[in-house]
């Protein structure tokens, strides 16, 4: 009695072979995000707040415009050089650690400072805020506007970055995106290969229709020769 041969089983499930870019990309991306969160050093951010105050005979509605104008000067050399000595660093290094934000409907400026320690972050924000006030006071007679410190920077109690949960989520999303792109590329390549293989196959011969036999033609009867008519004398 002969037994039917067993079909060889593929060691990899078809679903795994199809979706392996996503199954591999998501955990690898999450692991990369977690590794970045562990390797990156903490960065602290402190904030100082300034407000534009109109002086006598000044248009109070222009305070918002002046606040926005002074907010754009936070990272300019004339402000950074004034603040560098107080911050204990160079103007070039300070430019990468501070930023300014303004409001479209309030005459307020937020000066943010970032550093590896809470004290240095607060010191950078306060130094730039004081330099901005000094620069604004120098032109008060012309602008009829002053900058006043609304709140000094306070040393933060926790770092702004990294955030492990957020970094892991961003890494997983990046892995998902890369895995999806790889799957789309593989499917496109497979489709092109199938189309090329189909084009290389010989076309099947079309069956020819049988032709009807031609009927034999009937032989034509020979015609009698005609005798010439005799002419009358």
Q: What is the dihedral of CA 160, 165, 168, 169, to 10 degrees?
A: -100
For the chain, percent of residues with pLDDT exceeding 90: 41
Query: Cα separation of 229 and 233, whole Å?
Result: 13
- Predicted pLDDT of residue 129: 96
- Predicted pLDDT of residue 6: 57
- Predicted pLDDT of residue 214: 57
| pLDDT tens-digit map of 134-173 | 999 999 988 899 999 999 999 999 988 766 666 677 777 8
Low-confidence ranges of the chain (pLDDT < 70): 1-17, 20, 22-23, 33-34, 36-40, 162-167, 186-233
CATH topology of domain 44-151: Alpha-Beta Plaits (3.30.70)
CB atoms within 10 A of CB 179: 20
- Predicted pLDDT of residue 233: 41
- Predicted pLDDT of residue 19: 73
- Predicted pLDDT of residue 17: 65
Measured in whole angstroms, the distance separating CA 153 from the mean position of its chain's CA atoms is 33
CB 45 within 8 A of CB 157: no
Sign of the Cα pseudo-torsion (21, 23, 29, 35, in order): negative
Range(s) for CATH 3.30.70.1130 in the chain?
A: 44-151
Element of type H or E holding 46: strand 44-54
- Predicted pLDDT of residue 210: 56
- Predicted pLDDT of residue 33: 66
- Predicted pLDDT of residue 164: 62
Cis ω for the linkage preceding 162 (within 30 of 0): yes
Instruction: Using a cut of 0.85, tell me whether the model's pTM lies above it.
Output: no
């Amino acid at each position: 009695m002969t037994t039917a041969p067993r079909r060889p089983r593929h060691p990899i499930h078809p679903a795994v072979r199809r979706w392996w870019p996503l199954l591999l990309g998501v955990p690898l991306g999450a692991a990369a995000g977690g590794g970045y969160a562990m390797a990156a050093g903490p960065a602290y951010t402190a904030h100082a707040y300034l407000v534009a105050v109109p002086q006598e005979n000044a248009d109070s509605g222009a305070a918002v415009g002046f606040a926005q104008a002074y907010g754009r000067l936070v990272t300019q050399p004339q402000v950074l050089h004034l603040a560098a000595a107080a911050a204990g660093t160079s103007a070039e290094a300070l430019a990468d650690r501070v930023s300014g934000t303004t409001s479209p409907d309030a005459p307020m400026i937020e000066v943010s400072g970032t550093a590896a320690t809470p004290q240095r972050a607060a010191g950078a924000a306060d130094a730039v805020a004081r330099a901005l006030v000094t620069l604004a006071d120098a032109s008060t007679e012309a602008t009829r506007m002053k900058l006043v410190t609304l709140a000094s920077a306070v040393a933060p109690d926790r770092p702004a970055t990294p955030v492990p949960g957020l970094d892991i989520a961003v890494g997983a999303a990046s892995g998902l995106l890369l895995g999806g792109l790889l799957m789309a590329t593989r499917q496109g390549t497979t489709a092109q290969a199938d189309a090329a293989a189909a084009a290389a196959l010989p076309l099947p011969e079309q069956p020819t229709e049988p032709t009807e036999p031609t009927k034999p033609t009937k032989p034509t009867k020979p015609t009698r020769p005609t005798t010439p008519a005799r002419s009358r004398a």
